Every structure is written in C-alpha cells, then in structure tokens.
Amino acid sequence: MIPTPRPPSPEILALFPRLTQQYAQEAEAAVMPDHTGSSSPTSSELSAVEQALTDLLDSGAATANEHSGAEHQARLRARLAQAAGERGLLDVAYRTIDTELGALLLAATPLGLVRVAYAVEGHEQVLAALAARIGPRILHAPDRLDQAAHQIDEYLHGDRLHFELPLDLRLASGFRHAVLAHLQNIAYGSTASYAAVAAAAGSPRAVRAVGTACARNPLPVVVPCHRVVRSDGSMGQYVGGTVAKQALLALESSAPTGSR
C-alpha cells in the first residue's frame, strides 16, 4: 500500500499554498493508485522538496524571530524565493503590475516568461491552472520578474518596439505553438489577417484555429496576438477585451520614431 504523504507544514504552505492540492492528489493516489501514467511527483519527491524548503526557512528563523516586522518578513521572503530558485525548488514565480490596461499578472519559470494574464481572466484561476500544468511550487517573487515588468512598462509608454525576454511556450503545442511563433514576426505597428497568419503557419485553411490560438495566447502583449485582425480590418476577439486591443493598436500607430 502506498503511504499517505504528510501534509506540508504551515510555514511551507504560507510560501507555497498550492502545494495543498498536490498533496491532496498524492493522498488520493495512496488510497486509489492511478495507472494512467501520470507524471506528478511521488510522495518521496514531495517530502524531499518540503525538507529542502524547511531547511531554507530554518536558515532564516533566528533573524526572523529577532526582527518580525513586515519589512523584514518581505526581505526574508525575497531571500527564500531566490534560494528556492537557485536550488531548483521553484516551479513558477509571479507578480502583478498596474498598467493602463489594468492589473497584469506576470509569471515565469526558470526557462522564461510563461504567462501574462489580464484581470478579466481571473488571476487566481490562472495561478491554479499554472499549478496544475507546471507545478504547485508557485511563489510571489516580484524581483524575479523585474525585467519583464520593466520592458512591458516601456512598451506601454511607447518607449519599446521589441521585447527581449526569454519565453517559455510550453502552454501551447502543435499548431498553436506555430501560430505563436509566427505572431512574433508581425512588425510593431503592423497587422495581419487571421487568414494570412494561417497561411504563414503552414495551414491556409485553419483560419478558425488561428482565432482559437490567439484567444488562448498565454502571453498577450508580449506575443502580439493583438496585431491579428479580420480580413475586413475589424478587430475580432481579444483575450483582454476589444478596448484593450484597440488601445494597443492605437499605441503602436502613434509611437515616437525614437523608440527601440
């Protein structure tokens, strides 16, 4: 019989609350084993992760007890986030930024930026989906997304034409991945029709599939699905809403020539 895993400590859950779901799945598997070939971490792997995280917490416990203020706790959390990342214990780091388009959620894996989400998508739902698709060790670690936040801010103020960020496109596969790869070739200030993108992606008849790929783009703004419009020039649907799409196209049409 598979041993039932011990739940994470409160301290670990304070840092990685979505580990609860992973442990619940492991507990269920202990009672009713899954023979579907799931790649979820085993109980022993999860225990090893928790022990490593506990060691990180213990390393800062003494100073935390001496300085329990919010500012110190924030510094401790940042140090733990850095250490967790360096030891390969962090699946996803995230932060939110306030923009002219509303609050944007930014999330990254060690490979690169993996998700940009508008508020209308529901940030908590997006984080839950990332926990299910990538891993439950998700931490609010703003410093790890400083570069992405800075470049998006520059772009939204008309001071950046191209993003220079490592991207993790694992959330898109097959034709959707091909579409996202092509979207990055549509020049700033230009647009392309869904039909043109379908042809460029190698499937001229897959116009509806292009629309679906754009609607499910995990990296809006950075991977510019807003530059894809209908053949008659009308907006079409957009994950952030029509108003956001219009705002981005208007921004690009009026950007100063000195932008990089």
CA distances from 98 to 141, 144, 221, 257 (A): 16, 17, 14, 26
Inter-residue contact 205 to 198 (CB < 8 Å): yes
CA distances from 141 to 20, 84, 90, 180 (A): 19, 11, 10, 27
pLDDT in tens, 18-30: 665 555 555 455 4
pLDDT given at position 185: 95
Strand partners, 95: 106
> Who has greater pLDDT, 74 or 67?
74
* Secondary structure (3-state) at 229: strand
* Secondary structure (3-state) at 116: strand
> What is the pLDDT averaged over residues 155-180?
96
Q: Which two tokens stand for residue 167?
A: 């991207």
> Does position 106 have pLDDT exceeding 70, yes or no?
yes
Q: Which two tokens stand for residue 173?
A: 């596969």
Mean predicted lDDT score pLDDT of the chain: 82
> Who has greater pLDDT, 259 or 220?
220
pLDDT band at residue 89 under the 50/70/90 scheme: confident
Amino acid at 83: A
| Helix, strand, coil percentages for the chain (3-state, nearest 5) | 50, 10, 40
> Phi first, then psi: what are they for 167, rounded to 5°?
-115, 145
> Who has greater pLDDT, 103 or 63?
103
Provide the Cα torsion 249, 218, 185, 97; round to 10°.
50
Strands (E), 119-178: 138-140
pLDDT given at position 131: 93
> What is the pLDDT averaged over residues 249-254?
95
Instruction: Give the pairing type, strands 228-229 and 112-118.
Output: unpaired
Active site residue 225: yes
> Who has greater pLDDT, 237 or 111?
111
Pick the catalytic residue from 141, 171, 206, 225. 225
Write down the pTM of the prediction. Answer: 0.77
> Who has greater pLDDT, 233 or 1?
233
Instruction: Give the pairing type, strands 92-99 and 138-140.
Output: parallel
